[in-house]
């Protein structure tokens, strides 16, 4: 099927690996993730002219500001991320912490802050965002322990704590070759989630490759 501006979905997946955004105002997207667009769209760096306020009020993360651009105008914007799965998520007066490298775009109605956990961003408020994952995303209810490499993020709940399986560590140290093949796996160390909320995991222990 050949797509055009009339047949593209409005804010939906074209397939599991490409997502179309119906831009009617402003949108923040990660640099390098636009693969095509229809209409009259402009791409400008954050902090340039009138968009300086977005750095202070929306993307409250100086280290991440250089990784995003502002899209303005009207048109259909197609995002892709090296063949990884893409999906849109909605927040309603909520809080979701997600791997920073997986955030591809979000509405300026959401405030984006650096998480206290290195490598993660926290999105706050009401609005939509697009994220990539290595395989489909599954939603888990806590209490649950998760392999750190498979974790995508968590919503409306406190940050996790680390849990070490010392029985596994002791056994690994006694096993020939375990220091090479088994060290640093989810069997040795997990992230422990408790309380109310939702945990998002990827269907793979390999993160999105950059």
State residue 210's pLDDT score: 52
State residue 154's pLDDT score: 97
Domain ranges of the chain: 12-135, 138-202
Rounded-to-integer distance, Cα 39 and Cα 29, Å: 17
Bridge-partner residues for 95, per DSSP?
124
pLDDT in tens, the chain (210 residues): 899 999 999 999 999 999 999 999 999 999 999 999 999 999 998 865 666 667 667 887 777 888 999 999 999 999 999 999 999 999 999 999 999 999 999 999 999 999 988 899 999 999 999 999 999 999 999 999 999 999 999 999 988 988 887 565 555 455 545 454 544 565 678 999 999 999 999 988 766 655
Nearest to 89 by CA among 38, 131, 33, 31: 131
State residue 57's pLDDT score: 73
Nearest-5° Cα angle at 100, 96 to 106: 65
CATH of domain 12-135: 3.60.160.10
Write out the DSSP string of 117-171.
STTEEEEEEEEEEEEEESS-EEEEPSSEEE-GGGEEEEESSPPPEEEE-HHHHHH
State residue 90's pLDDT score: 97
State residue 204's pLDDT score: 85
């Amino acid at each position: 099927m050949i797509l055009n501006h009339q047949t593209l979905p409005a804010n939906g997946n074209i397939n599991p690996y490409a997502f179309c955004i119906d831009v009617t105002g402003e949108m923040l997207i990660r640099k390098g993730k636009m693969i095509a667009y229809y209409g009259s769209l402009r791409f400008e760096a954050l902090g340039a002219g009138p968009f300086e306020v977005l750095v202070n009020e929306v993307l409250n993360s100086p280290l991440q500001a250089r990784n995003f651009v502002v899209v303005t105008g009207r048109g259909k914007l197609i995002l892709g991320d090296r063949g990884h799965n893409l999906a849109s998520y909605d927040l309603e007066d909520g809080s979701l912490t997600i791997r920073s490298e997986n955030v591809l775009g979000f509405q300026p109605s959401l405030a984006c802050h650096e998480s206290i956990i290195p490598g993660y961003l926290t999105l706050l408020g009401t609005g939509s965002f697009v994220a990539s994952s290595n395989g489909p995303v599954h939603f888990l209810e806590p209490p649950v322990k998760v392999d750190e490499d498979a974790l995508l993020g968590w919503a409306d709940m406190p940050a996790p704590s680390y849990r070490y399986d010392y029985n596994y560590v002791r056994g690994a140290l006694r096993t020939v070759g375990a220091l090479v093949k088994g060290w640093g796996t989810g069997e040795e160390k997990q992230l422990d989630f408790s309380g109310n909320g939702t945990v998002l995991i990827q269907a793979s222990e390999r993160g999105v490759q950059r």
